Amino acid sequence: MTLSHLPSRIQFQTHHPRRCRLLRRYEIIALIVALIATVILHGLLKITTIVHWELGVIIVAAMLYFTLSLGFRYYWHLSRKEFLRNHAVYVFLSGLWIVSVVLIVIFQDLLPDSAPDRLILILGVSEFCIILRSLYESILLIRRVSSRGWNPALIVVSSFLVLISVGTILLMFPSARVQDPTTMNTAGAPFLTALFTSTSASCVTGLIIVPTGTYWSRTGQTIIMILFQIGGLGILTFGAFFAAAFGRSMQIRESVTFGEMLESHQRGDVRRLLLAILGITIFTELAGAVCLSGLWPELAWEDRIFHSLFHSISAYCNAGFSLMDDNLLGMGHHWQVWAVMPALIIIGGLGFAVNYNFMLYGITHFSNLTVRKPLFHHPTQKVRLTISSRLVFFTTLFLLLGGTIGIYFLESIHGNQDLSYWERLNQAWFQSVTMRTAGFNTVDLGEYRPQSKLFSVLLMFIGASPGSTGGGVKTTVFALAILSVWALLKGRDRVEIMGRTIPPTLIHRSLTIISLGIMMLMTSTLLVVLFENREDIFLDHLFETTSAFATVGVSTGITAGLTTPSHWVIIFTMLIGRVGPLTALIALSNRGPSYRYRYPEESVNLG
85-118 tens-digit pLDDT: 888 888 888 999 999 889 888 877 676 666 667 7
Task: Label residue 383 by pLDDT band (50, 70, 90).
Answer: confident
| 258 vs 384, more confident | 384
pLDDT at residue 45 tops 70: no
Number of domains present in the structure of the chain: 2
Residue 129 in any domain: the answer is yes
Q: Which segments within 1-87 are labelled E, that is strand?
A: none
Half-sphere exposure of 228 (CA within 13 A, CB side): 34
> Domain for residue 568, yes or no?
yes
Task: Please give the pLDDT value at position 3.
Answer: 41
Residue type, 130: I
User: What gap in Å lies between CA 241 and CA 236, rounded to an integer?
Assistant: 9
Decide if pLDDT at 44 tops 80.
no
DSSP string, 474-540: -HHHHHHHHHHHHHHHTT-SSEEETTEEEPHHHHHHHHHHHHHHHHHHHHHHHHHHHHH--GGGHHH
Among 320, 343, 355, smallest CA distance to 400 is for 343
Whether the Cβ atoms of residue 208 and residue 198 lie closer than 8 Å to each other? no
Residue range(s) defining the domain that contains residue 488: 387-586
The answer to whether the beta carbons of residues 437 and 550 sit under 8 Å apart is: yes
Domain boundary among 148, 181, 197: 148
Q: What is the DSSP letter of 111?
A: S
Percent of the chain with pLDDT over 90: 25
Does residue 355 form part of some domain?
no
Q: Residue 377 and residue 357: Cα distance in Å, rounded?
A: 14
Mean pLDDT of 276-292: 88
* Residues 6+ positions from 308 with CB-CB distance below 8 Å: 288, 289, 290, 292, 293, 295, 296
Give the range among 6-15, 93-102, 162-171 with minimum mean pLDDT.
6-15
Are 431 and 447 within 8 A, CB to CB? no
3-class DSSP assignment, residue 413: coil
Binning pLDDT at 50, 70 and 90, where does residue 159 land? confident
Last residue of a domain, one of 148, 170, 199: 148
Of 289, 549, 598, 559, the C-alpha closest to 445 is 559
Return phi, psi of residue 216, to 5°.
Answer: -95, 140
**Residue at 374 is within a domain:** no
26's enclosing H/E stretch is: helix 17-43
Is residue 203 a contact partner of residue 551, using CB atoms and an 8 Å limit?
yes
Residue 396's beta-bridge partner residues? none
Q: What separation in angstroms does the CA of 365 have from each of 276, 362, 369, 380, 507? A: 18, 5, 11, 10, 32
Identify residue 283 by its one-letter amino acid code: F
pLDDT tens string 551-576: 898 888 898 889 999 999 999 999 88
Ramachandran region, residue 531 (left: φ > 0; alpha: ψ -120 to 50; beta: rest): alpha
Residue 214 forms part of a structural domain: no
Whole-angstrom Cα distance, residue 350 to residue 413?
32
Predicted TM-score of the model (pTM): 0.81
Determine which of 9-18, 46-55, 490-499, 570-579 has the lowest per-residue pLDDT on average: 46-55
Predicted local confidence at residue 585, as pLDDT = 53
Final residue before a domain boundary, out of 124, 148, 172: 148
Cα separation, 576 vs 574, whole angstroms: 6
Is 81 within the bounds of a domain? yes
- Integer Cα distance of 564 and 584 in angstroms: 29
Most distant pair of Cα atoms in the chain: their distance: 91
Residue 379 falls inside a structural domain: no
Q: What is the mean pLDDT of the chain?
A: 81
Strands (E), 175-224: none
Report the DSSP beta bridge partners of residue 216.
Answer: 177
- The pLDDT of residue 7 is 43
In the predicted structure, residue 469 carries a pLDDT above the cut 90: no
- Flag whether 181 is in a domain: no
